[in-house]
Amino acid sequence: MATTQEQKFTFDLTGPLTEEQAAHIYALGREAVIYALLILSARVISEVSRQEENPAMTPSTPSGMVPVYEKPAARKRRKKPGAKAGHQGHSRQSPPITPHQEHPPLACCPDCGTPLGQPSERRPRVIEDIAEMEPVVNEHSIPRHRCPQCNKMLEPPVPDALPKATFGHRLMAFSAWLHYGLGATIAQIISVLGHH
């Protein structure tokens, strides 16, 4: 039915409706007015639904809440990061280690099931976390084995932190809540954690 009405009425409703266009539609009769109103209302509804899907971002919106495709492109770094070759390195001082934890060695290879003997070495791993809002720095002594079948170095998992992470689960969750939940910037989170 819409195609026969489109062929019957020849007027442009793509842009804003002018007074002359409205008078022309009115002169065409009742059916033309109904058709034009239906087309215009459908366009308004589609624009409103599109705006509801993409709400306007304000300056106070946390960066994690803005989709990646809506963020401006990052500027290219001009120089290579880090100190020049031969210069002394700078890093954050390691905090004093309070408790020390020993982990039991693996009994067998988790990949192939080959029994493992005594560990060939122990690797230290330092994990910083918070407990009762006080910083705690644990050093974990992790036994390492070489599997004779797979020829890989194996070690038991450390449940206090994610792999290759220097911060514990509580500290990661707290900083994620500050950033994504409250909208705190990275500098503000560093300031809060530095205060404690």
- For residue range 186-196, list pLDDT tens digits in order: 899 888 887 76
Q: Which of 130, 133, 67, 137 is nearest to 100 (CA)?
A: 137
What was the pLDDT predicted at 10?
Answer: 66
**Cβ neighbourhood burial of 127 (10 Å; 0-12, 13-18, 19+):** buried
What was the pLDDT predicted at 196?
Answer: 65
What was the pLDDT predicted at 1?
Answer: 45
What was the pLDDT predicted at 2?
Answer: 46
What was the pLDDT predicted at 83?
Answer: 81
What was the pLDDT predicted at 54?
Answer: 57
Question: CA 154, 155, 157, 160 torsion: positive or negative?
Answer: negative
What was the pLDDT predicted at 56?
Answer: 64
Average pLDDT over residues 27-41: 86
Average pLDDT over residues 166-173: 89
Q: ∠130-134-139 over CA atoms, to 5°?
A: 55
Question: CA 34, 39, 44, 50 torsion: positive or negative?
Answer: positive
Instruction: Specify whether the CB–CB gap between 187 and 178 falls below 8 A.
Output: no
Instruction: Specify whether the CB–CB gap between 21 and 11 falls below 8 A.
Output: yes
- Does position 67 have pLDDT exceeding 70, yes or no? yes
Average pLDDT over residues 157-185: 88
Instruction: Specify whether the CB–CB gap between 83 and 89 falls below 8 A.
Output: yes
- Map residue 122 onto helix, strand or coil: strand
pTM above 0.85, yes or no: no
Average pLDDT over residues 165-184: 89
Whose tokens are 């002594």? That residue is 141
Average pLDDT over residues 97-125: 84
Residue 171 to residues 35, 67, 138, 185, 187: CA-CA distances in angstroms? 61, 25, 13, 16, 16
- Does position 8 have pLDDT exceeding 80, yes or no? no
- For residue range 113-125, list pLDDT tens digits in order: 888 888 888 888 8
What was the pLDDT predicted at 46?
Answer: 79
Instruction: Specify whether the CB–CB gap between 121 and 146 falls below 8 A.
Output: no
Q: Are strands 134-146 and 100-102 parallel, antiparallel or unpaired?
A: parallel
pLDDT tier at 183 (50, 70, 90 boundaries)?
confident
Comparing 26-35, 53-62, 98-107, the range with the smallest average pLDDT is 53-62
